[in-house]
Amino acid sequence: MLFQLRMATNLGLIQNLYFSLYPEKDHLKDFEKVMQTLPKLFASRPNELKEQDAERLQGENWYQSEKMVGMQLYVEQFNRDLKGLHDKISYFKELGVNFLHVMPITTRPKGENDGGYAVNSYDKVDPRYGTKKDLLALTSELRKQNIYLMLDFVVNHTSNEYPWAKKAKQGDKKYQKYYYTFEEDTIPKEFEKTLPEVFPQTSPGNFTYIPEMEKWVMTVFNSYQWDLNYTNPTVFLEMLTNLVNMVNLGVDVVRFDALAFLWKRMGTISQNLPEAHTLVSLFRMCLQVVAPGTIFLAEAIVAPTQIIKYFGENHTRGNECEIAYNASLMALLWNSIATKKTGLLYKSMANVPSKPKDCTWINYIRCHDDIGLGYEDQFIWEMGWNPQQHRKFLLDYYCQRLDWSPATGLIFMYNPKTGDGRITGSAASLLGLEKGLKQKDEALIAQSIAKIILLHGIVLAFGGIPMLYAGDEIGTLNDYSFLKEKAKKEDGRWVNRPKQDWHVIETIDKSPDPQAEIFRTLKKLIYIRKSDPVFADHSLPNLYHTGNHHVLVFERKGKDNEGLIVLCNFDENPQVVEPSWIKKLGYFTKGEPKDLVSGNTIKTKSGLLELLPYQMLWLKKS
């Protein structure tokens, strides 16, 4: 009954979206197939999940709650396999994590496979992780423990070993049409004129010649990742089935991987095209009918004005993704650390259009990927910097080209043709802990701990879901072991995909080590966040200018006029802020407020509010 109701409500929209991609006059039959498939997909959804869907439709937006704290992890690096992950649920409970992004676990090619993002299937568990039974046992336990699960849906490409790719290689024309295949390189060459390169060092160009099939195939990412051809409606239908099969395993959030790339058009960069949005919305609305409790995360690491569009606008408003990565904030925080100034952050954030009220961000500082320097040139100019030189400075600062820099990062995908490059490395290493420990420099160690807390504190308070990257909660350093592995050594992102150090965690409660201090402080901050609805994502953060270029100040407001003000010092020297305006906002009604982070009452003896180097204050309105 509920299914019919949802179908009736969404049919018009689904139809419009579908026919705008696949014109009605040619594709009526294809649309009928979608209509026949949806009830079958619904029938295949386990009852327990159907009940959960119904509950979620009644309740508030669970993903905007202050209770949400995420962690991203690779199963094999975290604790062996799915059973091993199951065994560590108590660890998440202890830290306060209730949302897991589990990196790809399905079958993939034996050699290079982009950490599982080259998929050989969408629902077969790779034996290295265990079995489907293990996965179902895990998802069922996570549900019991109120822990949400996010898995990737690698929607843009399959591996070159996926059954469709294999058939295409054998000459099967039907499956060659599932990808962008070309007999000659004329069209590929035309495309190349405007297509950027994602991995210019390891996988230059966007097409690969496949001798078995005597054809070129589009491979925007790695040469072994074949781009799916969504102009073919059968691809959409088959991928919808793959999506639902995956979601039915007990997935709460689908991470729509590389969704900006879903539609290609010659003469463009083939990212963020309107058809890509229509397609995302079409997937979304079909899922709304079959599994409405499941939501979408946009993995679109693009310009802020483009990211925001994945929340849906115009005809897809509210009907694309509920969550998106706040990649802009992430990159701007790294810029602020290197420059010790917050101006670019203020300028850029002021330019990000507000998000719709039912949507939220994932705020994070590190993940399994690199850090791109995608700031708007115009704002860099306005800061008085030359964009090209400024990006070079950031690469130099983070990638060991400046002796005085505390950072130990690696340069990633340096493109000599353009001078562009990206940064990789663990949060702790990029923030100076690796160098501090190596040089036994206590001051540097203390400074790096303060920076680690500062950045995590910001993402915990900014509004949205904070996503920790496993290992960062214990200050894990770069892991250079990938250099010895053939299938990994060319991809520097592996430097930040370390094994979880359970030895460190065993003694974490008592240890005086930096790792333990980081863990204990983050655990406390998570606890504070989860205990106070002011951290829920019901309002946009308000950024305040203080006149001090090293400081970032923002305020969060609760539903009933509660307030939290966050003050951050990005400088290595103490900084002051004139506090009368904070007083006017109502933060001093009971005298000098207590900083929730340190537990100390703040002092404004001199009339100015003082921030220690890299200090962050959380002040509650009293």
Question: What positions carry a catalytic annotation?
Answer: 257, 299
- Cβ nearer to ligand GLC, comparing 182 with 261: 261
Can you list the positions of beta strands (E) in 264-339?
A: 295-298, 323-325
* 491 counts as binding ligand GLC under rule CB under 6 A: no
Least separation, in Å, of the C-beta of 533 and ligand GLC?
32
Using CB under 6 A as the binding rule, whether residue 369 contacts ligand GLC is answered as yes
Q: Can residue 482 be called a binding residue for ligand GLC (CB under 6 A)?
A: no
In terms of CB distance, is 355 or 368 closer to ligand GLC?
368
In the complex, the smallest distance separating the C-beta of residue 196 from ligand GLC, rounded to whole angstroms, is 14
Residue 117 beta carbon to ligand GLC: minimum distance, rounded to whole angstroms: 3
Distance CA 557, CA 535 (A): 8
Does 238 bind ligand GLC (CB under 6 A)? Our answer is no
Shortest separation between residue 476's beta carbon and ligand GLC, angstroms = 19
Q: Considering the complex, what minimum distance in angstroms separates the CB of residue 257 from ligand GLC?
A: 5
Token pair for 404: 């005085």
Q: Pick from 22, 221, 482, 570: which binds ligand GLC (CB under 6 A)?
A: 221
Residue 258 binds ligand GLC, judged by CB under 6 A: yes
Does 165 sit near ligand GLC (CB under 6 A)?
Answer: no
Distance CA 518, CA 566 (A): 19
Terminal-residue alpha carbon distance, the chain: 50
Instruction: Give the residue from 462, 472, 373 showing the smallest Cα distance to 431.
Output: 472
Question: Tokens 């009971």 belong to which residue?
Answer: 590
Assess 257 for contact with ligand GLC (CB under 6 A): yes
- In contact, 575 and 616? CB cutoff 8 Å: no
Least Cβ distance, residue 491 to ligand GLC (angstroms) = 9
Interface with ligand GLC (CB under 6 A), residue from 53, 76, 114, 517: 114
Would you say 117 or 375 has its CB closer to ligand GLC?
Answer: 117
- For ligand GLC (CB under 6 A), the number of binding residues is 9
Site residues for ligand GLC, window 289-318 (CB under 6 A)? 299
How near is the Cβ of 114 to ligand GLC at its closest, in Å?
5
Tell me the three state secondary structure of residue 559: coil
The two tokens of residue 80 are 């062996």
* Alpha-carbon separation of residue 12 from 19, 43, 123, 243 (angstroms): 11, 22, 30, 22
Q: Is 334 in the site for ligand GLC (CB under 6 A)?
A: no
Interaxial angle between packed helices 2-21 and 24-43, expressed in degrees from 0 to 180 and rounded to the nearest 10? 150
Burial class (CB in 10 A: 0-12, 13-18, 19+), 608: middle
Please tell me whether residue 42 binds ligand GLC under the rule CB under 6 A: no
Nearer to ligand GLC, 179 or 587 (CB): 179
Distance separating alpha carbons of residues 549 and 344, to the nearest angstrom: 10
Per rule CB under 6 A, is residue 479 in the interface with ligand GLC?
no
268's tokens: 């463009």
Q: What is the DSSP string of 419-466?
A: TEEEEE--HHHHTTHHHHHHTT-HHHHHHHHHHHHHHHHHHHHSSSEE
117: contact with ligand GLC by CB under 6 A: yes
Q: What is the DSSP-derived secondary structure letter of residue 179?
A: B
Regarding 490 and contact with ligand GLC (CB under 6 A), the answer is no
Examine residue 76 and tell whether it contacts ligand GLC (CB under 6 A).
no
Note the residue count of the chain: 622
For residues 456 and 497, which CB has a smaller minimum distance to ligand GLC in the complex? 497
Q: Which is nearer to ligand GLC, 371 or 565 (CB)?
A: 371
In whole angstroms, the minimum distance from the beta carbon of 548 to ligand GLC comes to: 36
Decide: is 154 part of the binding site for ligand GLC (CB under 6 A).
Answer: yes
CB of 65 or CB of 271, closer to ligand GLC: 271
Residue 112 as a binder of ligand GLC (CB under 6 A): the answer is no
Which residue, 370 or 473, is less far from ligand GLC as judged by CB?
370
Cβ-closest position to ligand GLC: 117
The strands making up 551-557's β-sheet, listed across from edge to edge, are: 542-544, 551-557, 563-569, 616-620
Answer yes or no: are the C-beta atoms of 493 and 480 closer than 8 Å: no
List, in sequence order, every residue forming a beta bridge with 566; answer none if it has no partner.
Answer: 554, 618
Residues in contact with ligand GLC by CB under 6 A are 114, 117, 154, 221, 257-258, 299, 368-369
